[in-house]
Chain A
Amino acid sequence: EDQVTQSPEALRLQEGESSSLNCSYTVSGLRGLFWYRQDPGKGPEFLFTLYSAGEEKEKERLKATLTKKESFLHITAPKPEDSATYLCALLTGTASKLTFGTGTRLQVTL
């Protein structure tokens, strides 16, 4: 059975304090790994897609990387507006279904 585990569950950073969020997985045939940002009471917002080990994507203060067993979302010099829950999801199998992790709740304070 495909499994996705995100850590930590919650992370509190001061503004400018860089860190990384982890998404580890066990799957039988990864077709893609996705990162989303979700604000309270809102739908997830798409950030990145990674397809193969060694791939990296960047957007502003965020950088996503992928290995054969895990993905990292690196946040460089975060700002309070980066506070949100970050979700990792896997695409496996022939149907376009996503399996989601439980997310990391990030809080960035001044």
Chain B
Amino acid sequence: DGGITQSPKYLFRKEGQNVTLSCEQNLNHDAMYWYRQDPGQGLRLIYYSQIVNDFQKGDIAEGYSVSREKKESFPLTVTSAQKNPTAFYLCASSDRGKGNTEAFFGQGTRLTVV
């Protein structure tokens, strides 16, 4: 089945540590995105990538980093510089090439700082 796989589902991080969230898609989509979701707030864009080896900052990129070495993969690293990393992280992809602009989401990773 085609889809977006995020792992792990739950992640615990000690303060001062970097952690990497995985996102893999087999939909052959060019564009991939990372969003953060906090209670009572809409999804906020962290980073996005429209093609391999290229990515842009979203609205809240500080304290995060990404890479896009393969079309299928778009990992997100939450660095120790992110002051409030506890949140629900969502990865998405869309097929821009065919004009289909709806984004499809993974099931999310819940990150908790302990």
Chain A residues within 8 Å of B, Cβ to Cβ: 4, 31-32, 34, 36, 41-46, 49, 87, 89, 91, 95-103
Contacts and interface: CB of A to CB of B under 8 A. Distances in A.
A43 B4 CA distance: 10
A22 to B, nearest CB: 15
For chain A, what secondary structure do more than half of its interface residues adopt (helix, strand, loop), or is it mixed?
A: strand
Interface of B: 4, 6, 31, 33, 35, 40-45, 48, 50, 56, 58, 88, 90, 92, 94, 96, 101-108, 110
Contacts, number: 62
4 interchain residue pairs of minimum CB distance = A43-B105, A100-B42, A100-B43, A102-B42
Contact of B108 (A42, A49, A89, A100): A42
For chain B, what secondary structure do more than half of its interface residues adopt (helix, strand, loop), or is it mixed?
A: strand
Nearest to B45: A97
